[in-house]
Amino acid sequence: MFRDRKEAGQKLALALEKYSKENVIVYGLTRGGVPVAYEVAIFLNAPLEAFIVKKLGARYQEELALGAVTEGENPVIYYNREILSHLNIQEDYLKEAVRKKMKEITALQGILRQGKNIFLHKEAIAIVVDDGVATGSTMIAAIQFFRKFGQKKIVAAIPAGQISVLEELKKFADEVICVEPVSYMEAVGEFYGEFEQVESESVLRILKDAENRSKK
């Protein structure tokens, strides 16, 4: 149990201490992963980037992830085949869901990037951070994006995650680090005392603060 995302990030940072002398870039998954990633980036004295990825929710059950879609010129569209096999999901629904999420991603890019491109470097180690994983769809989609890019090494870093999902992540990432692996997770928020929604304006402030710190 974490008091808030700040504490979760601080504990996660300690678990990543071995990377303090490595060439790393910390990517926080939008939006909840960014405050956690901030603490990691500060601790490792590494660049912080927000990586935009959107969950594809089921009809009438948005929290149930059918998959996820990432930003990028060649975005990754990941489908959770196990969940899809249990649900009668129409192809038209998936196509429309992807279209809507891509539109949201474009809008969020305008807010967070303000004309700049995301910082990518193949020779750096990408530490991909979220505030937790219940189904793993957004994390898997993000990892697949960096794999497709040709990243040197990809580390998935999470404060709390369901053990079965963490095992699935190991098929995609080079390393998976989790502070609190649990046998069952219904929702990420249940592992936080405070789990408020992270707004875009808050993410922008965090990114600017990280950038200003790096200039000192």
Mean pLDDT, range 185-199, rounded to an integer: 95
In percent, how much of the chain has pLDDT > 90? 82
Model confidence, pTM? 0.95
- In which band, very low, low, confident or very high, does the pLDDT at 216 lie, cut at 50, 70 and 90? low
Q: CA 50 to CA 31: how far, in whole Å?
A: 8
Phi/psi class of residue 150: alpha, beta or left (left: φ > 0; alpha: ψ in -120 to 50)?
left
Residues 65, 56 contacting (CB under 8 angstroms): yes
How far apart are alpha carbons 186 and 133 in whole angstroms?
Answer: 10
Q: What is the pLDDT of residue 106?
A: 95
For 93-151, write each residue's pLDDT tens digit.
999 999 999 999 999 999 998 888 899 999 999 999 999 999 999 999 999 999 999 99
Residue of 43, 34, 59, 55 lying closest to 208 (CA atoms):
34
Both tokens assigned to 139? 């994390």
pLDDT at 8: 98
pLDDT confidence bin for 161, thresholds 50/70/90? very high
Q: Is the pLDDT of residue 158 over 70?
A: yes
Residues whose CB is less than 8 angstroms from the CB of residue 28 and which lie 6 or more positions away in sequence, other chains included? 34, 35, 36, 37, 38, 48, 49, 50, 51, 129, 130
Residue 89: pLDDT band (50, 70, 90) is confident
What is the per-residue pLDDT for 58?
86
Sequence-ordered alpha helix ranges (H) in 61-199: 81-86, 91-113, 137-149, 163-169
Q: Computed from CA positions of residues 49, 172, 63, 6, in that sequence, does the dihedral angle turn out positive or negative?
A: negative
The pLDDT value given to residue 60: 74
- Pick one of 3.40.50.10310, 3.40.50.2020, 3.40.50.10420, 3.10.450.50 as the CATH number of 5-53+118-215: 3.40.50.2020
Please determine, for residue 63, whether its predicted confidence score (pLDDT) is greater than 80.
no
Task: Spell out the domain ranges in the chain.
Answer: 5-53+118-215
pLDDT in tens, 28-38: 999 999 999 99
